[in-house]
Chains A and B, each alone.
Chain A
């Protein structure tokens, strides 16, 4: 608080003295005299003149007679400063130094110094690389999941760290596609895995492609890091909780003018006639196709492939259904081919599994390769996994099994792990599932960290793009992240200008409010309505799995967002992840870490 002291000195009007001789006429009354003011203001430490505080003295005449000294009327300013300190004593910092935030962050700086000193810039300094991609896991999703995870563990939440929050290096990725401000997974994963940014919706091809036109693929194909690793003789694996033919995993092994050509029934006749192959076909024939492109190349194919998406591998015939089929006819393929059987014929020593028991029975130390298709479409959300018909492994289970199998190769391995359904939770406007899947993703990363040697394995964690998902209002510390905003010092939810409470989490667009958690009317059926805008949440439990957050702009589906996403790294070459980058940097960091191109070239030389 500023202390204002005003001292006014009244000026006196002096009467004119009389002259000799006749008195003249009385003159007109003179003007009132002007008051002069002196203003003293206490200034705080940090002031421009008085670094340690003191008093500022302004003086001047009250020219406009308004009874105060306005800024323009100040004619002189002086200061009486407190004496400056000549040294910083320990006692001056006592409050800081005794504070835990201070101690913690000082240690973080020491740790960072050590990490910078130990940073391994050597090309080929890593033996293995694992790339973790959280589909749609923007920064707000990471923050909210971190809080949710902490609160699940009984903490206030904000102070919690997800596994990759503890990684020593991080940077940002600009996610836009060559033709789009807000990107999709096909273009972004192609950038990450091939080092080249490209258009929305296309896989493993550059921007010269015309989406959906098969004839434009030829000549525009890119080489992916998984292909280079395969050529170099490393073991290779791809895992996703989405269909394994879905955009993110597909960008690692396929080249396609359209991400939706997951099986032959999804392709237009022109594309089939022009000779383009569907994505499932490209997965099963990965080894053959790669060998065909390089003279004399002999590779052994993907060792680990796990995810959902059986529908794209099986013929449209109930006879080909898996024992745990959800639909009457599981397969979509209209060419009569059974790609699961083709894979089995190609790899007689491989293990094909479709449910959790079969998965658990595989011994990864002796198994040659695993092909796991655990669902007809996407695998379950982590929160629903226990509801699955035949049982599915978790992302952590799959990651563990994959590393155990892949690390049997002395030359090293490259593994890509996607948490594919964070994106779907958000598209549905359902933060609960997006956050629970993010937490499971963090667990899978933690498992990988514990299973690998940090001096030989580079681990990168990132997202392909963000979502229009926000953490808003001024909730107090520890307020349930899925709850309504309760302000500091309050116990009841805050109310907006419409006199209704509101949640911390929300979406800029999408379906909006739905409360499936409380729905008990079996006759209600699937709800077709979009409920954008405000709902009265007074009596709604917003923390249930079935609650769908409010959205401002009405749309059947919530959208991706265009802001940057985080890249988190650990292990050899991790320090190359820093600053703000085009997303394609991720390929180059991985390539440098295991000297991928040189290793592949050496292998190709006769």
Chain B
């Protein structure tokens, strides 16, 4: 039996030191599942977002819509370095977008947001109040005084355990519900989509006879 290194981070739980010798799992290959809640005009909505990280690639899963976004950062490329493939799990198909088709001028910052979920640049504007836990499970607390804005930061993974944005009465909150460090489980999320048939976004216009694409053309994607 393989040892499953899945740590459940439920509310009120603290990191246990279950492992006798603490060997930190690879922070470059990791999965984090978040509950994303938004409160606006007294109404609360929530959804789940799963983020899977594999070195130069990050996969965002949106289970509600069965859509996943695969972001790949080309190594050693200064300009055209960010590729996006949007996977439609229901159809086992994907659309590939090139860097220029991605709505962002600052690709590096965009990548940082994807990789860290919360950009370190933004975090630098917050005040650090305390740090708890051992090396692998260390969590630092950050906030901006007199606002609702706060972040719990997993130092080893450089990922948020939780963060809250917005203002009183209108907040946007990400809370970690599960951290997956078993590499096989993380990589399977990538390899599963790698089998899907993909289409270059530039080719969509010439492929209206394709049932999936024509459906997407009418629905918008």
Contacts and interface: CB of A to CB of B under 8 A. Distances in A.
Contacts of A529: 220
B157 interface: no
Interface in A131-184: 184
Contacts of B210: 260
Contacts of B221: 528, 556
Contact of A377 (B84, B86, B96, B110): B96
B206 A185 contact: yes
Contact of B202 (A211, A265, A428): A428
Interface stretch (B16-24, B72-80, B176-184): B72-80
* Most B CB within 10 A of own CB, among A247, A381, A525: A525
A211 B209 contact: yes
A201 interface: yes
B92 interface: no
Nearest to A380: B80
Contacts of B77: 326, 389
Which secondary structure dominates where chain B touches chain A?
A: mixed
B197 interface: yes
B145 interface: no
B206 A555 contact: no
Nearest to B55: A328
A325 B217 contact: no
A87 interface: no
A384 interface: yes
B57 interface: yes
Interface in B178-221: 194, 197, 200, 202, 204-210, 216-221
A62 interface: no
A387 B216 contact: no
Given A522-B109, A528-B220, A260 B204 contact: no
Nearest to A329: B194
A58 interface: no
B100 interface: yes
A499 interface: no
A424 B202 contact: yes
Contacts of B200: 377-378
Interface in B108-122: 109-110, 113
A559 B81 CA distance: 29
Interface residues of A, number: 48
Given A329-B194, A556-B217, A520 B204 contact: no
Given A328-B72, A388-B80, A527 B217 contact: no
Contacts of A463: none
A523 interface: yes
B74 A326 contact: yes
B174 to A, nearest CB: 13
Contacts of A266: 197
A326 B104 contact: no
Contacts of B80: 326, 384, 387-389
A328 B103 contact: no
B106 interface: yes
Contact of B110 (A384, A423, A522): A522
Nearest to A200: B209
A90 B98 CA distance: 64
Contacts of A29: none
B1 to A, nearest CB: 31
Contacts of B98: 326, 377
Given A328-B56, A389-B77, A525 B104 contact: yes
A427 B72 contact: no
Contacts of A328: 56-57, 72
A558 B208 CA distance: 11
A526 B100 CA distance: 10
Contacts of A530: 220
Contacts of A325: 74
Contacts of A514: 103
B83 interface: yes
A382 to B, nearest CB: 12
Nearest to B67: A528
A23 interface: no
B102 interface: yes
Contacts of B86: 526
Nearest to B121: A522
Interface in A215-265: 247, 259-260, 265
16 contacts: A185-B206, A260-B207, A326-B74, A328-B56, A328-B72, A378-B200, A389-B79, A389-B80, A427-B202, A520-B106, A522-B107, A522-B110, A523-B113, A526-B86, A526-B102, A529-B220
